[in-house]
Amino acid sequence: MIKNAGTLIIAGWLSATLMTSSPTIADQTPTSQPDPTLISLLKQTIEQSDSFEDKFDAEVWLFSKSSQLERYIPDNETRLNLLRRIHRAATRADLSPEVVLAVIQIESRFDPYALSYAGAQGLMQVMPFWKNEIGHPEDNLIDVETNLRYGCTILKFYLDKEEGHLSYALARYNGSYGKSWYPEKVMVAWDYWR
């Protein structure tokens, strides 16, 4: 019964959120019908989401994060696909998907082709030396799945090493251990994603 009530709430939210007449959020004014293409994409993404306890959890999380991520990724299909992948990679690594979203926001602003001056690559800005460390020099760190797998695994390792202290783990992840500027930036972004 509660899930049905929640579904009704989400359906109402969807109706209000997904009705579009222009491509930008600032210019959106509701029309009489939700965008059928977006609704279809959302349903498909929910069906493919294997890291959620149930479809209701997938629906709620994907809907809320999709609206937050739209400012970085305007294309609905790309955005929903990335959210599903982030949730799966974070969950497999036993990390909060919202923390991973915050790290990606700070590291690459959701640009899978990002390359830092130091050579870090992809969404989570993974350094290429990790490929040799684990014996997979052929891995492509620009590939979203590969980058998320590396980044989440590395962050989880540091989180365990720091006994759950996220600030210290983030500083290690960024290579700025002993400094607070990077963890503070990620924590501010994390507030946005929670």
pLDDT tens, position by position, 139-182: 999 999 999 999 999 999 999 999 999 999 999 999 999 999 99
Alpha carbon of residue 23 to chain centroid: 22
Choose the CATH number for 93-194 among 3.30.70.980, 3.40.1190.20, 1.10.3430.10, 1.10.530.10.
1.10.530.10
| Distance separating alpha carbons of residues 180 and 194, to the nearest angstrom | 21
pLDDT recorded at residue 55: 80
HSE-CB of 106 using CA atoms within 13 angstroms: 22
Alpha carbon of residue 89 to chain centroid: 9
State the pTM of this model: 0.76
CB 50 within 8 A of CB 64: no
Could you tell me how many residues make up the chain?
194
- 26-45 mean pLDDT: 54
pLDDT tens, position by position, 103-142: 999 999 999 999 999 999 999 999 999 988 888 899 999 9
One of 53, 59, 77, 107 is an active-site residue; which one? Answer: 107
Residue ranges covered by each domain of the chain? 1-84, 93-194
Q: Residue 54 pLDDT more than 60?
A: yes
Q: Is 53 known to be catalytic?
A: no
Structure confidence at residue 35 as a pLDDT band (50, 70, 90)? low
Q: Which residue has the higher pLDDT, 141 or 4?
A: 141
